């Protein structure tokens, strides 16, 4: 993430604006992840999230980011509920997860 961000900013950022990286550690703890999600939205006023956490914490934060209209990409979370709202029975349109290639 840091290398990509350096490359982006060295190239002029996005629309001429530098992008800042804010890093928190949820310690694979869903309660901690919820507190961090709310902090990112309410205090830090971020415009997007790249989550490096696994499915447990990401599954509980995806609805928070979805409700806020905050784009979130999960790097390690593979559980379908990250991108699917089981209550509404429809896909989340702000939450995405990386797909790993199959090895058959």
Q: Which two tokens stand for residue 5?
A: 């961000």
13: left (phi over 0), alpha (psi -120 to 50) or beta: left
Give pLDDT tens digits for 59-80: 999 999 999 999 999 988 888 8
Q: At what angle do helices 55-68 and 30-42 cross, to 10 degrees?
A: 30
Asked whether the predicted pLDDT for residue 102 surpasses 70, the reply is no
Q: What's this model's pTM, rounded to 2 decimal places?
A: 0.85
- Domains of the chain (ranges, CATH numbers): 24-97 (3.40.50.2300)
- Which tens digits make up the pLDDT trace of 81-96? 889 888 888 899 999 9
Residue 9 pLDDT greater than 90, yes or no = yes
Separation between Cα atoms, residue 31 and residue 56, nearest integer Å: 10
Residues found in the chain? 104
| Structure confidence at residue 104 (pLDDT) | 65
């Amino acid at each position: 993430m840091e290398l990509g961000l350096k490359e982006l900013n060295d190239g002029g950022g996005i629309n001429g604006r530098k992008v800042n990286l804010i890093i928190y550690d949820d310690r694979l703890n869903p309660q901690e992840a919820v507190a961090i999600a709310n902090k990112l939205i309410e205090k830090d006023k971020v415009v997007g999230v790249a989550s490096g956490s696994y499915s447990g914490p990401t599954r509980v934060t995806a609805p928070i980011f979805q409700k806020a209209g905050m784009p979130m990409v999960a790097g390690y979370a593979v559980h379908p509920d990250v991108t699917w709202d089981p209550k509404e029975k429809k896909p989340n349109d702000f939450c995405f997860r990386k797909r790993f290639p199959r090895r058959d």
